[in-house]
Structure 1
Amino acid sequence: MESLLTDRLSTLSHPQRMAVFRLLMRRCPDALPAGEIAAVLDLKPSTASVYLSALTQTQLITQQRKGTQLLYSVNLATARDVVACLFFDCCRGRADLCPPSYSDLLNGLPKMTDKKFNVLFVCTGNSARSIFAETILRDMAGDRFTAYSAGTIHRSELNPLAVEMLQAKGHDVLSLRSKNVSEFQQDDAPQMDFVFTVCDQAANEECPTWPGQPISGHWGMPDPVKAEGTEAEKRLVFHQTYGALHNRLQSFTALSLDLLDRAALQKQVDDIGKLEQE
C-alpha cells in the first residue's frame, strides 16, 4: 500500500499531470475525450497521451472507449484512498490534526438545513444559458431559492434572442443584467449553497474555491448563441436550451433538500446534469 501511495503521489507531483487530474476532478463525473483535455490545457496530443497513460497506470483516472474515442474520468475511489492514506495514517483519524474540511468528512456529511438557498449559475458569457437558469429558478421557486448568474469573461451582454425567449415565456426581464463571476467572489458577496456551471468552458476553468463549500454541479449544454441558420432555426435552438434547463430545474426544485445528506444530494445534482437536452 505504501509503495502504491508513493507511486501515485509521484505521478501527481508533475505539474502538468496534476493539471490533467485537477481538470478531470473539476469535471467529475464527466468523461472527457483526450482531444478536449489537450485543448483545455494547451498540450500537444502526444504529450497529453503520455500524461493520461501515467495517470491511468496508477489508477488515478479511468479510461473507457466510446466509438472511436477514448474518454477519461477521475477515479474517485483512488482519490479517496490517497487522501485516506495521508490523513488516516499520518493523523490517525484525529479530527484536531486534520484540516477542518476533512474533519467534517470524518464526522459525516451534514444535511442541508431548512432555509432559503443561494444558487449561482455560471457560464462563459452570461448572455443566454446562465441567464435562462437564473430567471427560470427565480420564477419557479423564488420562495425557496435566490438565483444568481455570472460569466467568466469580463465583457458580455444579454443576447437579444435570449431576452426575446424569456419574454415570450412570460418572464420579467427588466432586472436582468450580465455579470462577471468576480462579483460573487468578493468578501461582501452572498455565500452560495449551490454553484452550477452550464457550459463546458466555464467548468474547465480553474476558479477560486467558493466559501462555505457549496454543492457544485455541471449541467453543460451547447451554446445557443453559436447556432447557425435562419432566424427560425436559431430561435428553435434557444427554445431547446430553455426547455432543457426548465426540465433540470424542475427536477432540482423537486429534491427534498432537508432529507438528503450532502453526499446523496451531490449524486442527485450530478444525475440531473445527465438529463438529455430536448
Structure 2
Amino acid sequence: MSSVLEIKNLQVSVETDQGTKQILRGVDLTIKQGEIHAVMGPNGSGKSTLAYTIAGHPKYIVDGGEILLDGEDVLEMSVDERARAGLFLAMQYPVEIPGVTNTNFLRTAKTAIDGEAPAIRHWVKDVRTAMDNLKMDKSFAERNVNEGFSGGEKKRNEILQLELLKPKFAVLDETDSGLDVDALKIVSEGVNRAHETNELGLLLITHYTRILRYIKPDFVHVFVEGKVADQGGPELADRLEEEGYDRYLTTAV
C-alpha cells in the first residue's frame, strides 16, 4: 500500500527582530507516494518555510494544523525520526561538514535510517553507480561533505544522498537555483531515477518552470502570502511562465 503525506491547515510562524511573524496561514496539501507536486510562488510566500517545517527545523514554530505520514503525527517526531520514517529534504543551500567525508556520511546515514549497515560490496557498487550517473568524479567520495564544492556540485551531492537513502517522500527546496543547463539536466535525471525506481513522492519547490521541463509534475500549487492561492495540473506552470504572479498578488487577502 502506498504511503501518504498529509498537510492539514498548517500554520507556522517565526521569531524575528520585530517579533513573531506568521508565515504559513493554513496550508492544505496531500501527496501520495509516486506523485510529483510542484510548489511555485513569489519570494517570501512561505515555500521554504513549508519545506523546513516538514523536516523539523527548530526555527519554525507550528501554531496549528497537522503533518501526517500514513496517519502518524510527524510534528511529534524528532528530525532523525522523520528521516527514518521516510522523509528527505534537499536544501536550497547545502551546508559544509568539515572533517566528515562523503563516504562516511553516506554510510552512517544509511545505517541510521535502515537500522543496519549495508553490505560493503553492494554498497560500494551502489555509491559508484550513483556517482557515475550524476557525473561526479570518484574523488568526491573521500572529500569532506560539500567542503569546497561549487553550487552545482553541492546540488548533485544532495541528489546522490536522495538516490542512496531511498526515502518515501522528498522535499526539494529550489534545487534548480544556481545550476547551469548541463547541471540542471543531470540533477533532474537523478531525481527522475529516484522517482521511478523507488516510487518517490516529490514536493518540488521552485520559482521557475525550467526544471519542470525535465521533471514533469502531476500537480502544481501556487503559494501566495502563506496560503495555496491556486492549484492545477502542469498547464498551470505554463500559465505562470507567461503571466507571472501579479494576478494572485492583487487578489490575495
Q: Which interval holds the TM-score relative to the shorter structure? A: under 0.3
Return the TM-score normalized by structure 1.
0.22
Q: RCO (CA 8 Å, sep 6+): is it higher in 1 or 2?
A: 2
